[in-house]
Amino acid sequence: MKKQQRGFTLIELVVVIVILGILAATALPRFVNLQTDARIAAVQGIAGGLRGAIGLVNAKWQILGGSGVTSVAMVGATVTVAGTTGFPVATTAGIGAAMQCESSTACQGNVIDLSVGPTTWRPSSGGSATCQSTYDATTGAVLAVTTGC
């Protein structure tokens, strides 16, 4: 008597699917690089925060009379602005106060450099010249560079 084999049993198929699921669950995180996405999101987030702060300070400057006004009182801080443009100056008392930074070198999880123009805002983990937001106090422009994150 010869017995014919017809294929796999249901139990064998379920065991194989469970094993493949376990392998996929343990191997997938090793191939997904979430740190790059997190740094890009951090750079874009700080750029959005900068744009919002600049817009609010500039609007308040215009309400106060515009040209000639050199400081704007905001909630929690007084922001030093350029008297001709109304944009926050590139100092701790300017854009640092508008963003309510903790210090002159750290702001909301970013490393900042207010000593050069344009000022730079880099994520604390992995920021570089190709992974940063910049603020130009003369034009009020904010640029998010995320090519090297």
What pLDDT sits at residue 2? 67
Give the domain range for residue 49: 41-145
Q: Is residue 87 part of a domain?
A: yes
* 27 against 2, higher pLDDT: 27
Q: How big, in percent rounded to 5, are the helix, strand and coil portions of the chain?
A: 40, 20, 40
Do the domain assignments include residue 62?
A: yes
Q: 63 lies in a domain?
A: yes
Dmax (CA) for the chain in angstroms is 105
- Report the pLDDT value the prediction gives residue 127, as an integer from 0 to 100: 67
pLDDT digits (tens, 9 = 90+) for 42-87: 899 999 999 999 999 999 999 998 888 899 998 888 999 998 999 9
21, part of any domain: no
**Residue 121 zone, left/alpha/beta (φ > 0; ψ -120 to 50; rest):** beta
**pLDDT at residue 1, rounded to an integer:** 59
CA dihedral 40→45→48→50, nearest 10 degrees, is -110
pLDDT reported for residue 144: 93
Q: Which two tokens stand for residue 77?
A: 């801080």
Q: How many domains does the chain have?
A: 1
Using an 8 Å Cβ cutoff, are 128 and 121 in contact?
A: no
**What is the rounded distance in angstroms from the CA atom of residue 69 to the CA atom of residue 86?**
8
Report yes or no on 2 lying in a domain. no
Quick check: 49 and 55 in contact, CB under 8 A? Answer: no
Decide if 122 is inside a domain. Answer: yes
In a domain, 23, yes or no: no
Secondary structure class of 77 (helix, strand, coil): strand
For the full predicted model, state whether its pTM sits above 0.95: no
15 part of a folded domain: no
What is the tens place of the pLDDT at every residue in 71-127? 999 888 899 999 899 999 988 899 989 998 888 888 888 888 887 778 888 888 776
